[in-house]
Amino acid sequence: MPLLPPPDALTIAFAHQAYGLAAEFAGRGHPARAIEARSVDDLRARIAEADVVVASGLWRNDMIEAAPRLRFIQSVSAGTDQFDKQRLARAGIRLASAQGANERAVAEHAMALILGLQRQLHLARDHQTARHWRPMIGDRTAREEESGGKTLVVVGLGRIGLRLAALARPFGFRLLGVRRRPGPCPEVDALLPPERLHEALAQADIVALTCPLTPETEGLIDASALAALRPTSLLVNVARGRVVDEPALIAALREGRLAGAGLDCVHEEPLPPGSPLWAMPNVIVTPHSAGETRAYETSVIDILLDNLGRLARGEPALRNGLV
């Protein structure tokens, strides 16, 4: 039996502070009524009207009680840790992620952070702003780095991690993967289970975090994990901020126990003005923009329409279904 009203009786709330999801949906010819929210307060004010919500960062779990018609949430992001899945299940609300919508963009962003740190592009930009022509460097340890022969450890070999491994291969990296699921993985040179993470870190020139945030991965890169790295190593995080113990990371960077970090996600977003990460010369911070791409709305609405069709046909399986 279909979970949702007929398409022409359906109301969908698109909730995102920036993305043009409602406009993309309107161009697809679907008969559902679309409403748009640009803030948490906007969504709270309209959620009682919605049969479907398309949201990520603007979602709050206490909205469940204010949404008697709500039966399906399409997450705008691949990460869904903001949704209380048990509460949704008890309320009879289905949930699907946007996994795959931005895997290419996130992997490319991770690769850009790796190369940017190795080639010191952030310092070059600082010098450009200061109109400073940096002289040649006599200290070999302070020069730009090459990729060939370096070891890249990819923690999390889902779609993003595997795509990152494929991008890194032509640069000559030796690739180590850390993944919970055993079995063949030809995309990397060696595959290690999570309990051997420190063994992998000890070999790393660069560590790239591409894993989801789960109870098992929260705080995964803690003080002991950072101590397993060499002082010349780099850390790139395109996963979630809470995968890393941020105070321990800041201490390692300050004390020269880690050469640098490229961070697309941090514990508190936006990054507070007082965070020491802003001013660290060996850190590149991007505003959780790894997944942003000009094609993002198209990809999310493709997934939404697929799932609306499945729900209309009464199919139990959703694309990227979680609840």
Q: Which residues are catalytic, by number?
A: 240, 269, 288
Distances (CA, A) of 290 to 30, 112, 124: 30, 10, 21
- Asked if 100 and 159 count as a contact pair (C-beta separation under 8 A), the reply is yes
Terminus-to-terminus CA distance in the chain, angstroms? 17
User: Would you say 37 and 46 are in contact if contact means Cβ atoms under 8 Å apart?
Assistant: yes
Q: Are 277 and 284 in contact (CB under 8 A)?
A: no
Beta bridge partner(s), residue 94: 72
Token digits of residue 78: 């691949």
User: What contacts 134, CB < 8 A, 6 or more positions away?
Assistant: 123, 124, 127
